[in-house]
Copies of this chain bind each other. A is one copy, B any other.
Amino acid sequence: MKLDDKDQQILEYLQQDSKMTNKQLSMKLDLSVTAVYERIKRLEREGIISKYVALLNPEKVEKAFTVFCQIKLIQHTRNYLTRFEAEITSLPEVLECFHVSGEYDYILKVLVKDMAAYREFMVTKLTTLDHIGSTQSTFTIEKVKNTTAIKL
């Protein structure tokens, strides 16, 4: 599916602020409200827009401590990988988990309140998963950039 200039503009705007109304968009794009509406519906139907979400301020909800945790498994049989991935997915502290190339097998982005909470997470949730080989934690000192918007 091809995205013309209007589609791209719509996606840019909605990635920044999904509360923007069709009327506001119609004025910015110089289209009718219905045209904007139909385009958005098509983008949703095609799965290009996958969902609409509210983003919280991590500071305000006491989840401002971000850690990147790299994990090496002991074995790499299919079963181990699948079970590990299912268990990781179920942990709410883990916002992102990628199977990666390189020395470690997985890289996780973990959000917790503070170092104490991270220690608790490690001890009670991560290291209790067996077939974990080693882990390496990288603590974030400062968030420089953090967006969900993909440039088209």
By a beta-carbon cutoff of 8 Å, the part of chain A in contact with chain B is: 1, 3, 11, 14-19, 46-58, 60-61, 63, 66, 68, 85, 88-89, 92-102, 104, 106-107, 111, 138-152
Contacts and interface: CB of A to CB of B under 8 A. Distances in A.
A142 B96 CA distance: 11
A141 B55 contact: no
Given A17-B52, A53-B15, A53-B55, A68 B107 contact: yes
B152 A66 contact: no
Contacts of A148: 53, 55, 95, 148
A152 B88 CA distance: 18
In order of increasing CB-CB distance, the 3 nearest A-B pairs are: A92-B151, A14-B54, A97-B144
27 contacts: A11-B56, A15-B56, A16-B53, A17-B51, A17-B53, A18-B54, A48-B60, A51-B55, A53-B55, A55-B148, A61-B150, A63-B150, A66-B98, A89-B145, A96-B147, A98-B141, A98-B142, A98-B143, A98-B146, A99-B140, A99-B141, A99-B144, A100-B138, A101-B138, A102-B139, A106-B144, A107-B140
Given A48-B56, A101-B138, A61 B152 contact: yes
B61 A47 contact: no
